[in-house]
Structure 1
Amino acid sequence: MNPELRELIAELRTDLEADQPATLAWAQINEGAPADTIPTDLPQPVRELLETANGILAGAFDLPAVADLDDIQYYIEQMPEFTGVADEPAEWLVFGTLNDEPLLIRRDTGAVWYFPAETTDEWFMRELFLDVTPDLDSFLAYYVFGAGYGEVGFDDDEWWGFLDEHDLTAPGDEDEETDD
């Protein structure tokens, strides 16, 4: 995990803890797990995330702690046939959920996949299963802790407001004009 993302997670954790118990209903970022408690068969990016935060509740996102990861692997068995996930289950890991829908990482490439909510159909009835980011860091930085949350979550919930208070909802600096 890149150092900037680690630092951001630590800062947001501190701010959330300062406002507890009010924040517990919609966000919580746990302290990291000791490295020796994280299974070695997890993809390295997931291991690094768990070392940084052993469980994250961030609005519509739920990225479980080490102890709860096995509890969400059942999604792999429920994946629609067209995804190919059930044909090679060892290549995939469900690392969390978005609105109770699975978020998967491909073990060999590190790419993050999900079912975009373009319809009201249940996730397992949708016909799109997309490679949303090439790696977990990009996913976390943009969708969980950045402007992309408004695209996949809710741009009017408490997490979005929290991100906005921390100036994390605007697109990247390349789109901003500077005043001289």
Structure 2
Amino acid sequence: MNTELSELIAELRTDLEADQPATLVWAQIDEGAPADKIPADLPQQVRELLETADGILAGAFDLRGVEQLDRIQYYIEYMPEFTGVADEPAEWLVFGTLHEEPLLIRRDTGAVWYLPAETTDEWFMRELFFEVAPDLDSFLAYYVFGAGYGEIGFDKDEWWGFLGEQDLTTPGR
């Protein structure tokens, strides 16, 4: 994880903790997990995220910590057939959810993929599945902690408001 992103996560954690317990309902950034507690078979980008934050609740995002990662891998079995994810489950890792729908990282490339909510269909019935970011750092910087949250999250929830207070909702910041 790049230093700038790691520092941003630490700053946001501190700001959220200062406003607890009010923020706990919609946001929480946990302290990082010890490196020896993080499974070695996880993609390096995920390992680095978990060392920085062992779980992130950020509005519509729920990025799981070490203890919960195994519990969400079941999403792979229910991925739409056209995605090919269920045919090669070892190539994918579900690292969290967006609106309670799976966010996946491809183990070989590190790219982040999801099923965009272009319709009201349930996620497992959707016909679109695409790469939303080439790597986890850029995904986190733009969609979780930046202007992209308003595109795929909500642009009127508490997390969006918090990002605005932090001056993180303007593209290019």
Give the TM-score taking structure 2 as reference length: 0.99
Match of 2:36, SS state, is helix
Partner Cα distance (1:90, 1:145) in 2: 28
Deviations 1:78-136 (A, max 9, x none): 01110000110000000000000000000000000000111111111110001111000
Alignment of 1:8-157 (within 5 A): 8-157=8-157
Partner Cα distance (2:28, 2:103) in 1: 18
Structure 1 residue runs of 4 or more that deviate by more than 6 Å after TM superposition: none
Partner Cα distance (1:51, 1:27) in 2: 18
Q: Which amino acid aligns with 2:132?
A: V
Give the TM-score taking structure 1 as reference length: 0.95
Partner Cα distance (1:24, 1:41) in 2: 31
Q: Who wins on radius of gyration, i.e. which is larger?
A: 1
Q: Which amino acid aligns with 1:171?
A: P
Partner Cα distance (1:117, 1:149) in 2: 14
Aligned twin of 1:169 = 169
Shift of 1:53: 0.1
Shift of 1:145: 0.1
Structure 1 residue runs of 5 or longer lacking an equivalent are: 174-180
Q: Which amino acid aligns with 1:146?
A: G
Shift of 1:11: 0.1
Match of 2:161, SS state, is helix
Shift of 1:161: 0.2
Partner Cα distance (1:85, 1:64) in 2: 20
Q: Which amino acid aligns with 2:88?
A: E
Match of 1:73, SS state, is helix
Q: Percent identity?
A: 85
Partner Cα distance (1:18, 1:90) in 2: 40
